[in-house]
Chain A
Amino acid sequence: MADMFAFAEVRGGALRSVAAEAVTAARQAADATGGGTVTALLIGAPGIAASAEKLGAHGADVVVVVEHAALERYSPEVHAATAAAQIRAAAPRAAFFAASAEGRDLAPRVAAALGVSLASDVTSFTIDGDAVVVRHPVFTGKAIATLRLAGTPALVSLRPGAVEPAEAARTARVESAAPAADPGAARVVVRELVDRGGATLDLGEAKTIVAGGRGLRAAENFALVEALAEAFGDAAVGATRAVTDDGWRPATDQIGQTGRVVSPQLYVAVGISGAIQHLAGMRTARTIVAINRDKDAPIFKLADYGIVGDLFEIVPRLTEEVRKAKGKA
């Protein structure tokens, strides 16, 4: 039996989907050792405690809630000090974070504060005696490393989408705690969040991604991609680097080696030839569909299903059929 810890990421006063993934991972890790206590940490502005119940639904036994008016947004130093203090108090075998933008900033700080090591951006893990064994994509996704992480607690950050949130319902005991550092004295302060436009549903969290490439020929033709994404209902829109470099889409939509790395259930590549730099960002998608004019395009080697032909005919038809399948038409 080993206890586990999960950091529950919050934005805009609500849990992010990666919070459920971290708690699910902690629950699975605890169960793999014959069951242990899962403690989740929830930090936010007053009112965030209302989200504790949801963490219980995914398997948290204890939710430590830290509410403070100055913690509406991520405060790197306060979050790190508080997470380190709570991990020290809970003394888990392993602590799970999301390898999201926030988690990638937070987890290494916590590791250094605790003097323990961190396995980053992990796609799967197993508990192996005193160690945690993880898989982690390296060399821009062109190889996979199996890593052994020794020491307790072992810190792990999980690639968003790598763990499917699961129900493991229990009524979590809620404990409130104070921040471990004075939010008013933080040196690094997030002054504001600026909306970058682009994807309304985050790429890292979408179950389906419809991505467009140069084959769309012009920025306005992304309307076809957006319509298809809307037909799926739970989809985000992504783009290749060529497209974001040309300003057809915001830079934050870029999927690839130098953009976002995503692992959705379904990836639909529209007018994308499949440059290595793009494939590095989406090759771990569960199902890949490619629509391209060129039957020899590299994307077809990776795609589970391909249609060769004119995307301007195929995509509207696909949008219509997906709407029907979803009972929307």
Chain B
Amino acid sequence: MKIAVCIKRVPDTEMRFSIAADGKSLDQAGLKYDMSDFDGYAVEVALRLNEKQGPGEVVVVAVGPDGVQETLRKAISMGAERGVQLKADAVPFDGMAIAAALAAELKDGGYDLILFGRQSTDSANGSVGPMTAQMLGLPCVSAISELEITGGRGVAHRELEGVAEVVEFPLPAVLTIDEGIARPRLPSLKGIMAAKKKTLDVRPAQLGEARLTVEKLELPAERAAGRIVGEGADAVPELVRLLQTEAKVL
């Protein structure tokens, strides 16, 4: 199958970070970047589908400045055949603006599947996959935790609150991938060497209009210093009193 995987390069916020002087972006000093978590699962799903179902092509696509080439190379060293950078000075916050660029790139690509991570770990909108599908007029199943493809049709599971939906769809389709479906492999040394010879095309991103913009970025207010009510079971009556009279949640 010909599969596109749309991936995003995001700041690694497992590490300490601070807000830049403009008050609406991250201070770049010491900031490291990597592929967004869920996108790694999407790349893995694509690779496994083609390993199981015979020859095909996995193409990874990312919007952004030249730094995204590193992220594309990582996906290629995992096993993707080639990469496409849709070059833009910055990735807009508005999912519609990103989806427009991806839809323009993917529309005549003849893809059987277009995969996304469920949401990015930076802007956390989870909107670009379904928006791209809608723009392309393709069936879409979002946040899937299980997937089977046979004879041009797919069955996926989506986790809802306390239940799972079993969803059927025809190919070609757009899917967004939840965690847990297939643990992403690490790039092998052979993969890293091979990746250097594989194609990485660069084209200007045809971004849509960004109507959702960041005004301010701040660290969450520190919660008022917590209080240790006491030690052991003897502290329970005081806790219950506080929950009733102070927090008023009981």
A residues with a Cβ closer than 8 A to B are: 11, 73-74, 76-77, 80, 100-102, 104-105, 107-109, 111-113, 115-121, 133, 136-151, 187-196, 198-200, 202-205, 208, 232, 251-252, 257-258, 265-266, 276, 283, 286-290, 295, 300-310, 313-314, 316-318, 321-322, 325-326
In contact, A310 and B167 (Cβ under 8 angstroms):
no
B49 to chain A, nearest CB (A): 19
In contact, A190 and B127 (Cβ under 8 angstroms):
no
> Interface size bucket, B side?
35 or more
State whether the Cβ of B13 lies closer than 8 Å to any Cβ in chain A.
yes
In contact, B211 and A151 (Cβ under 8 angstroms):
yes
Q: When the two chains form the complex, which single residue of A80, A148, A232, A309 contacts B212, counting CB atoms closer than 8 Å?
A: A148
Q: Which residue of B lies closest to A321 (CB)?
A: B240
Known: A104-B142, A147-B215, A149-B212. A322 touches B227 (CB 8 A): no
In contact, A309 and B232 (Cβ under 8 angstroms):
yes
In contact, B218 and A143 (Cβ under 8 angstroms):
yes
Rank and list the top 5 A-B pairs by shortest CB-CB distance, nearest first. A112-B134, A108-B127, A309-B232, A108-B130, A146-B216
Q: Write out the residue numbers on chain A whose beta carbons fall within 8 Å of the beta carbon of B132.
A: 112
In contact, B243 and A289 (Cβ under 8 angstroms):
yes
**In the complex, A140 Cα to B118 Cα: how many Å?**
13
Stretch at the interface among B57-65, B72-80, B94-102: B94-102
State whether the Cβ of B204 lies closer than 8 Å to any Cβ in chain A.
no
A277 to chain B, nearest CB (A): 9
Q: Can you list 8 A-B pairs with a CB-CB distance of less than 8 A?
A: A146-B214, A147-B215, A189-B167, A189-B169, A258-B37, A305-B229, A307-B231, A314-B232
Beyond known contacts A145-B93, A309-B233: 12 more, CB 8 A cutoff: A104-B126, A108-B129, A108-B130, A111-B131, A137-B124, A143-B220, A146-B217, A150-B212, A188-B173, A194-B166, A307-B229, A321-B239
Q: Write out the residue numbers on chain A whose beta carbons fall within 8 Å of the beta carbon of B231.
A: 307-309
Q: When the two chains form the complex, which single residue of B133, B155, B163 contacts A195, counting CB atoms closer than 8 Å?
A: B163
Q: When the two chains form the complex, which single residue of A118, A204, A307 contacts B228, counting CB atoms closer than 8 Å?
A: A307
A265 to chain B, nearest CB (A): 5
**In the complex, A303 Cα to B135 Cα: how many Å?**
45
A98 to chain B, nearest CB (A): 10
Query: Per DSSP, are chain A's interface residues mostly helix, strand or loop, or mixed?
Result: mixed
**In the complex, A304 Cα to B239 Cα: how many Å?**
10
State whether the Cβ of B89 lies closer than 8 Å to any Cβ in chain A.
no
Q: When the two chains form the complex, which single residue of A121, A146, A198, A276 contacts B124, counting CB atoms closer than 8 Å?
A: A121
Known: A116-B211, A143-B219, A309-B233. A191 touches B239 (CB 8 A): no
Known: A305-B229, A309-B235, A314-B236. A187 touches B217 (CB 8 A): no
In contact, B127 and A307 (Cβ under 8 angstroms):
no
In contact, B166 and A190 (Cβ under 8 angstroms):
yes
A118 to chain B, nearest CB (A): 6
In contact, A101 and B13 (Cβ under 8 angstroms):
no
Q: When the two chains form the complex, which single residue of A118, A199, A286 contacts B249, counting CB atoms closer than 8 Å?
A: A286
State whether the Cβ of B139 lies closer than 8 Å to any Cβ in chain A.
yes
How many pairs, one residue from A and one from B, have CB atoms within 8 Å of each other in the complex? Answer: 272
**In the complex, A252 Cα to B173 Cα: how many Å?**
26
State whether the Cβ of B165 lies closer than 8 Å to any Cβ in chain A.
yes
Known: A116-B211, A142-B219, A150-B211. A313 touches B232 (CB 8 A): yes
Q: When the two chains form the complex, which single residue of B168, B228, B233, B250 contacts A300, counting CB atoms closer than 8 Å?
A: B228
In contact, A189 and B168 (Cβ under 8 angstroms):
yes
Q: Mark B202-216, 1 if CB is under 8 A from A, else 0.
A: 000000001111111
State whether the Cβ of B54 lies closer than 8 Å to any Cβ in chain A.
no
Known: A188-B141, A190-B166. A112 touches B249 (CB 8 A): no
A234 to chain B, nearest CB (A): 10
Known: A194-B166, A304-B247. A204 touches B161 (CB 8 A): yes
State whether the Cβ of B122 lies closer than 8 Å to any Cβ in chain A.
yes
Q: When the two chains form the complex, which single residue of A80, A105, A193, A208 contacts B164, counting CB atoms closer than 8 Å?
A: A193
Q: Which residue of A lies closest to B168 (CB)?
A: A189
Q: Write out the residue numbers on chain A whose beta carbons fall within 8 Å of the beta carbon of B162.
A: 195-196, 198-200, 202-203, 252
State whether the Cβ of B159 lies closer than 8 Å to any Cβ in chain A.
yes
In contact, A101 and B170 (Cβ under 8 angstroms):
no
In contact, B226 and A101 (Cβ under 8 angstroms):
no
Q: Which residue of B lies closest to A307 (CB)?
A: B235
In contact, A143 and B233 (Cβ under 8 angstroms):
no
In contact, B243 and A112 (Cβ under 8 angstroms):
no
**In the complex, A93 Cα to B14 Cα: how many Å?**
38
A189 to chain B, nearest CB (A): 5
In contact, B240 and A266 (Cβ under 8 angstroms):
no
